[in-house]
Amino acid sequence: MPAKPKILVTGGLGFIGSHTVVELVAAGFEPIVVDNLNNSDPVILKRLQKIVGQELKHYLIDCCDKEKLTQVFQSEMPLAGSIHFAAYKAVGESVEFPVKYYKNNLVSLFNLIECHQEFDIQPLLFSSSCTVYGDSDELPVTELTPLKPAASPYGFTKQVCEQLLIDVTNTKSIRALALRYFNPVGAHDTAEIGELPIGIPNNLVPYITQTAAGIRPILRIFGNDYPTRDGTCIRDFIHVVDLAKAHVAALNKLLNDTSVFFDVYNIGTGNGHTVLETVKAFEKVTGVKLNYEFANRRAGDVMSMYADTTKAEKQLNWKAERDLNNMMLTAWQWQKNIPS
């Protein structure tokens, strides 16, 4: 392996991808970024380079374009492996536009796997999701919790992608780890990068910060009649920097333990917070009062979901360190620093 192993990072200018690029550089890797800017902005590359203090190689291509993805592999050999973030990820939008989600999320992985096979590169780290568990009967969920029918097309694409990886890794042509992460929020401490939703946010925290900033007139909380402690959904929010560090830990395992062909890890904090508790935490740490109201439940939402992270802590030597207050504070600092 070269002194700085090259890692292809698809979706590397997105929310989780960009933070992972920072941690990869810090850990001595050379990230090769592939991103079609469908859910990002060119300014993120400039800000990323400012944080890491070096130029980063970026290919402006869509992973659904097999020919162009193959050219990237040809140009960048030898590659040590890849991390695959390039997917559509909004639960509500997937209910409305299922074909868009199936096409993008499946074809991009097909193409990446074929490139891995063609260029004989085994390690592939896959961005999965807690949505694979569906509306689980047991909490917290462990990696052995039976998967129930997904509550959204987005969740089902992640189930299908995991099964595809199981079947392909059984042929021993690639080795893969899937990280099932819970609800990534927050932003980098520099406030240079963070979640950058295009249009109306589908996720809670950017909607909170945009409401606080006056961009959105009101925050709607979907459902206050769930059988939870305050009637709102429960989620396991994890700081995006903690999540990025989990990717580096998982990548190191994939590169160093060649006996592993496929495995999955929950990446969360192990703590469930209600939507209302999250709103209150934001108000507390920022001093900004939010204008919010309750609305009907939203299609595709599960009532409660939080992780048992014991496996990741033991096998990857990783643990989430940041609390909900830090998540809300860094998200707000980022909101105030978002490029116009």
Q: Are the CB atoms for 7 and 30 separated by under 8 Å?
A: yes
If one counts the domains in the chain, the total is 1
Structure tokens that stand for 164 in this block: 């595809």
Task: Supply the residues annotated as catalytic.
Answer: 154
Whether 310 is in a domain gets the answer no
What is the distance between the alpha carbons of residues 81 and 124, in angstroms, rounded to a whole number? 6
- pTM for the full model? 0.95
Strand-pairing partners, residue 262, are 176
Beta strands in the chain (DSSP E): 6-10, 30-34, 57-59, 81-84, 123-129, 175-181, 183-185, 219-222, 234-235, 237-239, 262-267, 273-274, 292-295, 304-305
Q: Is residue 294 part of a domain?
A: no
Q: How far apart are CA 219 and CA 22, in angstroms?
A: 31
Instruction: Report yes or no on 190 lying in a domain.
Output: no
Burial of residue 148, with CB atoms counted within 10 A of its CB: 0-12 exposed, 13-18 middle, 19 or more buried: middle
Name residues whose C-beta falls within 8 Å of residue 190's C-beta, 6 or more positions apart in sequence.
51
Given a contact cutoff of 8 angstroms between Cβ atoms, the answer to whether 24 and 161 are in contact is no
332 falls within a domain: no
In a domain, 293, yes or no: no
In this structure, what token pair is assigned to residue 198? Answer: 């295009």
Return the CATH number at 29: 3.40.50.720
For residue 169, is it within any domain?
yes
User: Is 266 in contact with 305 (CB distance < 8 Å)?
Assistant: no
Phi–psi pair at 205, nearest 5 degrees: -65, -45
Nearest Cα residue to 62 out of 103, 16, 18: 103
- pLDDT tens string for the chain (340 positions)? 457 999 999 999 999 999 999 999 999 999 999 999 998 999 999 999 999 999 999 999 999 999 999 999 999 999 999 999 999 988 888 999 999 999 999 999 999 999 999 999 999 999 999 999 988 889 999 999 999 999 899 999 999 999 999 999 999 999 999 999 999 999 999 999 999 987 888 889 999 999 999 999 999 999 999 999 999 999 999 999 999 999 999 999 999 999 999 999 999 999 999 999 999 999 999 999 999 999 999 887 889 999 999 999 999 999 999 999 999 999 999 999 997 6
Q: Which residues of 197-207 are buried (b: 16+ CB within 10 A; e: fewer)?
A: eeeebbbbbbb
pLDDT at position 300, please?
A: 76
Lookup result for tokens 């961005």: 127
Domain assignment of residue 242, yes or no = yes
Q: Domain containing 154: what range?
A: 6-185+238-268
Phi then psi dihedrals of residue 85, to 5 deg: -105, -15
Instruction: Identify whether 138 is part of a domain.
Output: yes
Answer whether 40's CB lies under 8 Å from 105's CB: no
